Amino acid sequence: MAAPDERIRGFHAVAFQGNAAIVDLLLRANANPRTADENGWTPLYVAAQNGFSKVVSLLLSADVDPNQATRAGWTPLFAAAHFGHSTIVSMLLAAGADVNQAELSGRTPLWAAALSGRSIIASQLLGANANVNKAMRLGHTPLYVAAQNGHSVVVSLLLGANADVNACREGEATALFIAAHNGHSSVVKLLLHARASVSKCTSEGATPLFIAAQNGHARCTALLLRAHAKPDQPKNDGATPLYIAAQCGHLDVVRLLIEAHANVNKADLKRESPLWVAAEMGQEAAVKLLLDAQADINQCDKNGATPLFVAAKRGHEGVVSALLTAKANFELRNATGKTPLMIAVRKKHKRIVELLFRAALVSKKIL
């Protein structure tokens, strides 16, 4: 008979290989199936992690503890849920595995299943009375991670089990926010149907609508507006969803917000309007959409710079042309007395200088 330490090493090796026949022989030879290696991995954990159901069955029949965790706190059930072994999940639950036992960062088996979108396993765990709202230490719930990754079937299961749709730490993102952030419109629709708050914001003041607009997710934007999200609700810095959409050039989102009667002139704390910031960033198409929506073409920032001034400064020829065509006042000076022409000359934007000179000549009827 092998020495005890050799039998222990052999048990782990056989468990890794999934060889049920040899596991059975080791059990009959009274090898200890409960001993863990330096990482706290038991033969049961190894078998559960790798999906070896026959080995798991033999070990459970030997009355091993289904809740013995690794040094990282991973139980056999957590590993089976994480790696998608539904048959083993069922076996472990039947053997009395603790459905809510979390690993060191607070993640439960349900959390692991939600993260990976494993709907069958999530259903098994919920059927075993898993705590649907138990969050990890960072505050993220199973619903949050399912929403984050676009797992709509799991989201539906969790909502059906009465998951708290607005759960989050103070000032952090809700499930709706993260779904909108990542553009998961099917999940956004489910969460809105479950009456998720459209106005709950992060510590920076960002709403789900703002983050959808920032990332150019038109479908999510439309769903949120239909759910009565406020189109002008700003972040702490005063930026509105329209401001950020115009800045980023997300034209479909800009159109949706304008159609929802967003205030096209609502500026941030630096007094930069959506038109101003679109001009600054060279978003010519967004500039034209805002002009068509009657945005104030000469609205200045806190330094007295108009959209035309900042476009001339940045060298955005197409934007300058569009603003001049829309009759922007090219004579307005900023706080230091400079006109758009002066700044264009200083920055050596030759073509813009020509456009501004021509506009001046036309206005004086010289051309």
> Number of C-alpha atoms within 13 angstroms, CB side, residue 272?
18
H helix or E strand, kind and range, residue 77:
helix 76-83
In angstroms and rounded to an integer, the radius of gyration of the C-alpha atoms of the chain is: 31
| Residue 6 burial (10 A CB sphere; 0-12, 13-18, 19+) | exposed
So what's the pLDDT on residue 89? Answer: 99
Angle at 193 between CA 190 and CA 196, to 5 degrees: 90
Residue type, 251: L
What is the rounded CA–CA span in Å between residue 91 and residue 74? 17
3-state helix, strand, coil in the chain (%, to 5): 55, 0, 45
* pLDDT tens digits, 120-131: 999 999 999 999
Number of Cβ atoms within 10 Å of the Cβ of 40: 14
Quick count: other Cβ atoms within 10 Å of Cβ 346?
A: 12
Which H or E element spans position 187? helix 185-193
Distance of alpha carbon 238 from alpha carbon 267, whole angstroms: 7
How would you write the pLDDT of the chain (367 residues) with one tens digit per residue? Answer: 333 344 446 677 777 778 788 888 888 888 888 888 889 999 999 999 999 999 999 999 999 999 999 999 999 999 999 999 999 999 999 999 999 999 999 999 999 999 999 999 999 999 999 999 999 988 999 999 999 999 999 999 999 999 999 999 877 999 999 999 999 999 999 999 999 999 999 999 999 999 999 999 999 999 999 999 999 999 999 999 999 999 999 999 999 999 999 999 999 999 999 999 999 999 999 999 999 999 999 999 999 999 999 999 999 999 999 999 999 999 999 999 999 999 999 999 999 999 999 998 887 744 4
Show the tokens assigned to 62. 């030997």
Distances (CA, A) of 126 to 70, 129, 164, 281: 24, 5, 14, 49
Q: Distance (Å, rounded) from C-alpha 352 to C-alpha 320?
A: 7
Domain ranges (residues) in the chain? 1-98
Q: Which residue, 215, 238, 231, 168, is CA-closest to 196?
A: 168
> Tokens 């782990």 — which residue?
12
- Please give the Cα distance from 262 to 259 (Å, whole number): 7
44 and 76 Cβ atoms separated by less than 8 Å: yes
pLDDT for position 42: 92
CA distance 9 to 138: 37
Q: How far is the C-alpha of 153 from the C-alpha of 146, rounded, in Å?
A: 9
Contact predicate 301/276, CB 8 Å? yes
Contact 211, 184 (CB under 8 A): no
The residues, any chain, with a CB within 8 Å of residue 329's CB and separated by 6 or more, are 297, 298, 306, 308
DSSP string across 196-254: --SS---TT---HHHHHHHTT-HHHHHHHHHTT--TT---TTS--HHHHHHHHT-HHHH
Fold for the domain defined by 1-98: 1.25.40
The pLDDT of residue 10: 65
Q: Which residue has the tokens 């993220």?
A: 140
Residue 3 has a pLDDT of 37
What pLDDT shows up at residue 97? 98
Residue 35 has what pLDDT?
Answer: 86
